Amino acid sequence: MDLATPAAGRITTATVRTGSLRTGGAALNWRADQVTTNVVLVHGSFDDHTSWDRIVPLLPHDITAIRYDRRGHSRSSAPAGRSGLHDHAGDLVSVITELAGGAAHLVGHSYGALVALMTAARHPELVSSVLVHEPPAFPLLADDPQGEPLRAEARAHVTTVAAHIEAGRQDEAVALFAEKVAFGPRWRELFPQPQRAVLAANAHTYLDQFHDPDHYALDLEALATDRVPITVTVGTDGPAAVRRCTQLLADRLPAATVETLTGAGHAPHLSHPDEFAAALARHLGRVRRS
């Protein structure tokens, strides 16, 4: 791996640093704020690193918050051809090794949570801990009496989302995904117009996710080994399918800590940043005491 910025771009002082990291044929745009304990923030579908803007100022002062645009999103490039969950996990490994000095705590939202969990399962030596909010592990809904109808409904919606994107109707795709799959009917309150433009500009990346046969892959056996401390957060007001996924995942990870964020939905870092930052601080405190 090579840094487009000098090797001295690694985070060693209390400053804001930005740069570009080349990995796996992609160039990832990244930003790091503050110092000491390295925390890498991984955004979800359609989004980019700016989705964490409300969280970073609320973090403890000893945190180095490293965030980046996943490949193909906003200012990060991607090689020709389809990219999948394994590619995103490989990128995260590069971010950890090149920017965080070889170990980091991971925070993932939605699809970014799947990226973080795959990385923890495959490279526990690089991952100090993981906090994830509502990973959309839809295969867990199969054969679940409560979850199977929710999975079928979600599948129908995302199929239409992909069709809209392929037809060039990005705004329609974003609206359908946001309202019916991820955030609910009040999604526009979470995403002012400039942020909606980001979602529309990144809509094409969702096709890779949609067509990836491993896009919801989780190695539950590896994650249940207790080698990496895991906290799973879930909102009380998010889409039923994603909440059920999270409940079933927590059942499969008996060592994980589960925190419910009352009043929050699928994007607490946007709707309830104080509560989400506090949950992260509690998570880090538990890890440090263990």
35-54 confidence digits (pLDDT tens)? 579 999 999 999 999 999 99
Q: What percent of the chain has pLDDT over 90?
A: 85
Q: How far apart are CA 73 and CA 48, in angstroms?
A: 6
Residue 97 has pLDDT above 70, yes or no: yes
71: nearest Cα among 30, 122, 104, 131 = 30
For position 34, what pLDDT does the model report?
56
Residue 7 has pLDDT above 50, yes or no: no
**CATH number listed for the domain at residues 2-140+214-289:** 3.40.50.1820
Q: How far apart are CA 148 and CA 131, in angstroms?
A: 26
Residue 13 has pLDDT above 90, yes or no: no
pLDDT band at 21 (very low <50, low <70, confident <90, very high): very high
Domain ranges of the chain: 2-140+214-289
User: Across residues 209-228, what is the average pLDDT?
Assistant: 92
pTM to 2 decimals?
Answer: 0.90
The model's pLDDT over 179-208, given as tens digits with 9 standing for 90+, comes to: 999 999 999 999 999 999 999 999 999 999
Q: What percent of the chain has pLDDT over 70?
A: 94
Cβ pair 126, 104 in contact under 8 A: yes
Residue 15 has pLDDT above 80, yes or no: no
Structure tokens at 142: 């199969």
Residue 272 has pLDDT above 90, yes or no: yes
Per the listing, tokens 């994603």 go with 242
For position 219, what pLDDT does the model report?
94
95: nearest Cα among 24, 12, 16 = 24
